[in-house]
Amino acid sequence: MLLFEGFPPEKLEVLAGQMSLRSHPANQAILLQNDWGNAVYFILEGWVKIRTHDLEGREITLTILGPGEVFGEMAALDEAPRSTDVIALTATKVSCLSAQHFLAFLASDAQAGIRLAQLMSRRLRQINRRLQLREASSTARVADILLFLAESRGRVSRGGVEIPNLPHRELSSLSGLARETVTRVLSKLEQEELIRRDRTREVLCIPQMEALEKLIG
């Protein structure tokens, strides 16, 4: 878990004893907007999306989280209802820690609070970067989403950096582009060998990150 890296085993054993495990199938809502923030969740397996809706009811995916990451912390911190939905993109396993125990953990170690602030700041910077590219070309916006996934969720392999081969509707929601546009851009990138899709393993491989970065300008 990213939040717990570097903490002594005895402290982590206490936390583990306070957690419960939950499993969710793909497409199931784990949390819903306006639910009360009485727990914090840590992803053990799978992928989730954090989403909201605009004034016209259209879905907006704010970010995608994977193994080792945390969600639900904001509502626990400010003791308020949740501001977004959390939906399982794949079969997902999470460990659940009560807000009371989570806040006690933060209060017990200043390093824990600093680590949480760093994770939240990184998430905010990623969202800000996407917002800054809203007027960029469709190719630049899709490339940015792929880089975002590679930088935060990627796994280095012999062929490059591998990321989950997400449904085009999720990439559409993340980038703010029509699904058809996303499909067209991905096909173009594949033809130019800037990406490779392995449909058997449901992964997308980026052979050279620098080549995608050049598309953003």
Contact 38, 80 (CB under 8 A): no
pLDDT at 210: 94
Q: State whether residue 113 is helix, strand or coil.
A: helix
Say how far apart CA 153 and CA 115 lie, in whole Å. Answer: 18
Reading the block at residue 171, the tokens are: 């990439």
pLDDT at 103: 92
Beta bridge partners of 70: 42
What are the pLDDT digits (tens) for 166-177? 888 888 888 888
What are the pLDDT digits (tens) for 86-115? 999 889 999 999 999 999 988 988 888 888
What are the pLDDT digits (tens) for 167-205? 888 888 888 889 999 999 999 999 999 999 887 778 899
Higher-confidence residue of 2 and 107: namely 107
Say how far apart CA 48 and CA 32 lie, in whole Å. Answer: 13
Confidence band of 1 (pLDDT split at 50, 70, 90): low
pLDDT at 143: 93
Confidence band of 12 (pLDDT split at 50, 70, 90): confident
Contact 70, 117 (CB under 8 A): no
The residues near 154 (Cβ < 8 Å, ≥ 6 apart) are 161, 162, 163, 206
**Residue 18, Cβ density class (10 Å: 0-12 exposed, 13-18 middle, ≥19 buried):** middle
Beta bridge partners of 163: 204
Q: What percent of the chain has pLDDT over 70?
A: 99
Q: What is the DSSP letter of 154?
A: -
The residues near 166 (Cβ < 8 Å, ≥ 6 apart) are 47, 64, 89, 149
Residue indicated by tokens 């703010």: 176
Q: What pTM did the predictor assign?
A: 0.80
